[in-house]
Amino acid sequence: MRLFDTDRWSEIGQTIARNKKRSIMTALGIFWGIFMLTVMLGAGSGLSRMLGSVLGDMTTNTMFLFTDQTSLPWKGMPAERHWQIDNDDVAALRTLDEVEYADGMLFGGSYDCTRGERRGSYALMGLGPAMQRIHPQPLLYGRYINDMDMTGKRKVCVIGTQVWRELFPEGGDPSGATIKVGSSYFRVVGVLQKKGEINVGSSTETQIAIPMTLAQQLLGRGDKVEAIAVAGRPLPPAEVERAVRQSLFARNLIAPDDPRALWVLSMGELFENAMKLIRGIDLLTWIVGLGTLLAGIVGVSNIMLVLVKERTQEIG
């Protein structure tokens, strides 16, 4: 069969001309089906990429733990009790088989910071070295807080990119420079770049991170922390969360089934809910797209049926 047979194309043109409305509706149906399928598959792919950009380099087994009031009495302890996490709780979580990394977090609030004539207001955070493994952020310059900073309670800090741009407008590596945070002076050892959209406490860009041990001393918190960041091993997130709850509740005399004593922000749960949404969109995409294509196929079949009826006498 020749593709450019003028008689055949002339016949097709005459058939379409005799059935204009049916031909136009069929063509629109096929076009709309392909268009919907392409657009919705693209939307599903875009949502998946957006989810990846939100999480950054965090694993789906990452979670952040915050204390709340207890709701049940337990072993002589009353309900509606306020409780706090301390350094020993963090150390205990690190020994669990289900936990790969754990570190405390302390939120110092907003502080006025200056360097020469440059000034700004930024969030002070007390963090430890493991935070860079739990919630990885790329370093633009320098290094992150290390174990020696923690042990010696060194007055060092890691600043975000917005802090760096505003206090160091000349650019370049600020490592070794000194900035004033409140009434204290700190030596800058690194600059963090933001990766991902998950922020706990403050945005990475406007954050000044100092060693947790120093933050506890400066803020008068003793050995207390306000939250714990945990990176679980390659296990179901619910299993990691269950092990963490059991350890903290046992250490702090809290009922094992207390639903309110601990609030957990689980990346695994957020990821799973997002994936359910994406899977639902994908299913809807195929249903709508294939349904519309099927309608187009029916239209083509109708045209073919009309053609056969028109040629019945010639065939006979």
Rounded CA-CA distance 310/136 in Å is 71
Give the pLDDT score at 52: 58
Short-list 298, 263, 277, 210, CA closest to 50: 277
User: What average pLDDT does the segment 207-234 reach?
Assistant: 94
How many angstroms from the chain centroid is the CA of residue 314?
67
Q: Strand, helix or coil at 124?
A: strand
Query: Model's pTM, two decimal places?
Result: 0.73
Instruction: Give the model confidence (pLDDT) of 106-159 as tens digits.
Output: 999 999 999 999 999 999 999 999 999 998 889 999 999 999 999 999 999 999
User: What is residue 300's predicted lDDT score, i.e. its pLDDT?
Assistant: 64
Q: Is 267 within 8 Å of 55 (Cβ atoms)?
A: yes
pLDDT class of 309 with cuts at 50, 70, 90: low
Query: What are the backbone angles phi and psi of residue 68, rounded to the nearest 5°?
Result: -145, 180
75-89 average pLDDT score:
93
For the stretch 15-45, pLDDT in tens is 666 666 666 766 776 677 677 667 766 766 6
Percentage of the chain surpassing pLDDT 90? 55
pLDDT tens track for 163-209: 999 999 998 999 999 999 999 999 999 999 987 666 677 788 999 99
Position with higher pLDDT, 35 vs 264: 264
Q: Which is nearest to 229 in space by CA: 52, 75, 107, 121?
A: 107
DSSP-based helix, strand, coil % in the chain, nearest 5: 45, 25, 30
pLDDT confidence bin for 49, thresholds 50/70/90: low
Length of the chain: 316
Report the pLDDT value the prediction gives residue 156, as an integer from 0 to 100: 97
Q: What is the 3-state secondary structure (H, E, C) of 65-86?
A: EEECCCCCCECCECCCCCCCEE
Contact 285, 36 (CB under 8 A): yes
